[in-house]
Each structure stands twice: as C-alpha cells, then as structure tokens.
Amino acid sequence: MTLTLGTATRDRLRIAIQKSGRLAEPARKLLAACGLSWRESRDKLFCYGETLPVDLLLVRDDDIPGLIADGVCDLGVVGRNELEEQAGTRLRNGLAPAYRELRGLGFGQCRLMLAVPEDWDWTGPGQIKDKGLRIATSYPAILGQWLAREGIDAQVVELSGSVEIAPRLGTAELICDLVSSGATLVANQLKPVENLLDSEAVLAGPAGSFDDARAGLAQMLLRRVDGVLQLKDRKLLMFNAAREALPALEQLLQDAGPLVVVPDQGRPGGNGTLALQTMCEGTVSWQQLEDLERAGARGLMVLTVERSLA
Ligand code: PRT
Ligand code: ZN
C-alpha cells in the first residue's frame, strides 16, 4: 500500500495512534465510541476508515508529533509528555511550533517527576543549585526548561530507557522520569520530589488549520470526542414524585445537575405526580436510591447515557 506523504489536499482524515503500548487500546476505544470503524489491513500499519473517511495509522508514540509536523498525519493520540518534549526540542533548534494540543483525553495519566535517592532529605530545587549534579532522563528538553526556570546548573544525561537504574549504575545522581503508581521508583530506592509536568493522552493536531475537506471532518470528530468525554461516568436518574416532595428530593440531589420536570403529555394516572429527571456524575448507589425513595421518589431508574450532542 502506498501512503501519500506531504501536505497535499486530501479528502480523508488520517489519525496516528500508538500501534501497541499503554495508549493503543484506549485510543481505539475512544475513536470507536466516536462512531469510527476500520478495515484492518494485512500490514497492520494503516487501517482504512469504513464508516467515515477517517483512516488510522498505527505507529510508535515517539513518531506521532513528527508525523503531524510533516503533514503525514492530520491528528494523533499521544502523551502530552511526548508532545511537549518534541515541541521543546523544536524550540531549541529554532523551529516554529508545528502541532498543538486539541483535547486532553482523560487516560494515560502520569507525571514527569524529578526523583532522588530515597535517603536524601529534599528541601526543594535550591538544594541542587550550583552542585554540578547529573540528572538522567529521556526528556532533556522539558527538564532543560525546568532547570533554566529554576536557575539550576545541572548536567542532563540523556537515556532512551531504564532511566531509573542510572543512580545505581553511578551514571547520574538524580533522575527525571514518568511516574504513575510510583512502584518503579520505590523498587529502585528512589522517591519523587518535584513534578515537572502533569501528563495524559491528548488529541494533537497541526499548528495551522486545514483548508480542505479535512477541516469539516476534524471539527466533527472533535465534537464527537467532546460528547464522549462529557458522558464518561454520567448517569441519567429518572423517577416520579409528588410536587410536595420536591424540596426534600432536591436536598438529596445537591451534587447532581438541575432537577428537570418532564412535561406530562396527558398520561393517565397523572394526579399531580411529576415525572422528574437529572444528570448525575459517577455512580448512583443503592443507598442514594433508597434515601430518595424514603423522601418520596417512586419508580426510580438509573440509565447510562450512550450518546449526546451538546
Ligand atoms: O513502542 P512505543 O514507543 O509506542 O511505546 P513506549 O514504550 O514508548 O510507550 P508506552 O506505551 O510505555 O507509554 C506511552 C505513553 O503512556 C507515555 O508516553 C505516557 O504518556 C503514558 N504513560 C502513562 C506512561 C506511564 N503512565 C508510565 N507509568 N508511560 C510510561 N510509564 C513508565 C514509568 O516511567 C515507569 O518506568 O512505566 C513504568 C511504571 O510506572 P510506575 O510509576 O507505575 O511504576
Ligand atoms: Zn515510545
């Protein structure tokens, strides 16, 4: 299969996602929830979009910012850490910004942290000023920016992996690496002390805008992504109640959205009973339902919202 490279006019949108790794599965799930589906090709690098003219390119996460910068891909799902690092490298090399973060996607959360041997008493960044210490990292650009901001003169030791063993190997005194549970640091007798970046998977796009059919496709996709993200963890709570019970019910539903009265369209047996609904974040527990029932709610129902357009 031949891929058209470059920035030529295109009427299909091409999204790069990680082929395998932490972000691969959630990225596919998110795009599928946006109504996209693909025909898998045998080389498994390119998936042709079936429901919409939106194709997937399956690549290494490190390659995604560059593919967007070169116009090979239009959008990409990548960790903010990777995007910021490559943006920082471009800046250092005098290149113009080539991509931007369009949405935080709420998965792949981690932090880029400075970590020190666990027996150090950490008092703050001032502690490593003018000491000429070595910091091992795979994120030299982000670390370099932080060091400059803090006025710290340290030596950045760039490693492509296994950063956490550098202090034990004697190649650096500190490290700067991604942390999620923190177990890797603990296993290497290190502790996190400074947070350089809060990261998650993001939808990234080019710095400029599209001037062909891709503009409309990208806009539609963003709207659907927003819809999916908004619905995450949302439940619609429906019930009936007498008007007199409303104050007590509203009291119990303080954390939910506004309580809406559904217009009664001449249903039999109305006799002053209101049909009510509200949107709740997170789970609605049995305890909450029982409390609402005691306060006068009847016919309680909790529904998962599958799709919505704001
Ligand atoms: O093959 P490819 O190059 O595509 O994959 P990769 O191995 O470079 O990336 P991958 O799949 O490991 O990570 C992809 C993205 O997931 C990263 O760029 C981050 O945005 C995000 N992410 C979220 C993480 C972590 N959490 C994470 N914990 N990336 C790496 N880690 C590392 C961490 O540095 C530590 O070494 O996982 C290890 C376990 O972390 P703890 O703190 O839970 O012990
Ligand atoms: Zn990678």
Task: Tell me what pLDDT residue 3 has.
Answer: 44
Regarding the beta carbon of 179 and ligand 1, being less than 6 Å apart is answered yes
**Which pTM does this prediction carry?**
0.87
Task: Tell me what pLDDT residue 264 has.
Answer: 67
Task: Tell me what pLDDT residue 265 has.
Answer: 59
Regarding the beta carbon of 190 and ligand 1, being less than 6 Å apart is answered no
Task: Tell me what pLDDT residue 271 has.
Answer: 66
Mean pLDDT for each 10-residue chunk of the chain (310 residues)? 53 96 97 92 86 95 97 97 98 95 97 98 94 96 97 96 96 98 98 98 96 95 93 90 95 93 66 89 92 97 86
Residue nearest ligand 1's atom 14 by CA: 22
Residue from 180, 195, 203 whose mutation best tests the ligand 1 pocket (most atoms within 8 A of CB):
180
Task: Tell me what pLDDT residue 8 has.
Answer: 61
Residue nearest ligand 1's atom 38 by CA: 184
Regarding the beta carbon of 22 and ligand 1, being less than 6 Å apart is answered yes
Written as one string, the DSSP assignment of the chain is: -PPPPSS---SSEEEEEESSSTTHHHHHHHHHHTT--EEEPTTSSEEEESSSSEEEEEE-GGGHHHHHHTTS-SEEEEEHHHHHHHHHHHHHTTPPP-EEEEEE-S-S-EEEEEEEETTS----GGGGTTS--EEEES-HHHHHHHHHHHT---EEEE-SS-GGGHHHHTS-SEEEEEESSSHHHHHTTEEEEEEEEEE-EEEEEESS---SHHHHHHHHHHHHHHHHHHHTTEEEEEEEEEGGGHHHHHHHTTTSS--EEEP--S-TT-TTEEEEEEEEES---HHHHHHHHHTT-EEEEEEE------
Task: Tell me what pLDDT residue 5 has.
Answer: 45
Which domains does the chain carry?
Answer: 13-107+201-231 (3.40.190.10), 110-199 (3.40.190.10), 234-304 (3.30.70.120)
